[in-house]
Amino acid sequence: MRVSIEADISTKHCNILSTRQQEIALTQYHIAVIVGSLRKDSFNRKFADAIAKLGPPDFIFKQVEIGDLPLYNQDDDDHPAPAVKRLKLDISDAQGVLFVTPEYNRSIPGVLKNAIDHASRPYGQSAWIGKPAGLLGSSIGAIGSAIAQQELRNVLAYLDMPTLGQPEVFLTVNEATFDGDGKVNAKTEEFLQSWMNHYVDWVKKHSL
């Protein structure tokens, strides 16, 4: 009898564990990816596509549309355009955010800042607060978007987004950087994989 009770408890314990394990297995991390270029053949969009492929199966990367947002105007805070509502939902629903941006005139592109401003308002209703962030960037210049990324860090700090500090990735790009399948060369991919591993740990540690 005693044995059968223990066996019963043990079976229940196993069932509880397996349910929990199933929950963990089912957990997915949705990452909102924001590309700071609207250009059709954007290197940064290719970069965003390439890095997403290096994520683990439980990470779902979705590029967020920012090209149809109106210019931010504080007068519209009480009646946001549908594209603004969609952007805020995309950010709110995500467990993490990934910015992939070029550098424009030693800063971030206006389209990116416009999107950031939209989702930060109305005052007190920012969608960004607490979302773990990663940032990457590429440019054709030798410093590979370094100044833009530094400026973006400043903005993300103000928005209260825990942002991965290391490793940093400043990718200098040209037409040969991505092959016909959108892949980078093996050495670059190895480095990007290391960045992705850090980013995954960062999101898991900081997601709400």
Q: Is 106 in the site for ligand FNR (CB under 6 A)?
A: yes
Selected binder of ligand FNR within 29, 54, 97, 102 (CB under 6 A) = 102
Beta carbon nearer to ligand FNR, 41 or 75: 41
**Segment contacting ligand FNR by CB under 6 A, of 8-16, 23-31, 100-108, 195-203:** 100-108
The correct pick among 31, 44, 88, 177 for binding ligand FNR (CB under 6 A) is 44
139 is an interface residue for ligand FNR by CB under 6 A: yes
What one-character-per-residue DSSP string does 112-142 give? HHHHHHHHT-STT--S-TT--EEEEEEESST
Q: Is the peptide bond before 102 cis (omega within 30 degrees of 0)?
A: no
Residue 37 near ligand FNR by CB under 6 A: yes
Contacts 24+ apart (CB under 8 A), 201-206: 202/96, 202/132, 202/134, 202/162, 202/164, 203/29, 203/31, 203/59, 203/95, 203/96, 203/132, 203/134, 204/29, 205/132, 206/96, 206/130, 206/132, 206/162
Residues 6+ apart with CB under 8 A from 27: 58
Q: How far is the CB of 48 from ligand FNR (least distance, A)?
A: 9
Q: Which residue is nearest to ligand FNR (CB)?
A: 141
**Neighbour-count burial of 24, counting CB atoms closer than 10 A to its CB (0-12 exposed, 13-18 middle, 19+ buried):** exposed
Segment contacting ligand FNR (CB under 6 A): 34-42, 85-93, 153-161, 163-171? Answer: 34-42
How many beta carbons lie within 10 A of that of residue 148, not counting itself?
26
Stretch that binds ligand FNR, among 1-9, 21-29, 36-44, 190-198 (CB under 6 A): 36-44
For position 81 contacting ligand FNR by CB under 6 A, the verdict is: no
Among 39, 60, 125, 160, binds ligand FNR (CB under 6 A): 39
Angle at 67 between CA 63 and CA 72, to 5 degrees: 115
Closest contact distance (angstroms) between CB of 170 and ligand FNR is 9
As a whole number of angstroms, the distance between CA 61 and CA 53 comes to 9
Does 12 contact ligand FNR by CB under 6 A? no
Q: Among residue numbers 146 through 205, which ones bind ligand FNR (CB under 6 A)?
A: none
Q: Which residues bind ligand FNR (CB under 6 A)?
A: 37, 39, 42-44, 102-106, 139-141, 143
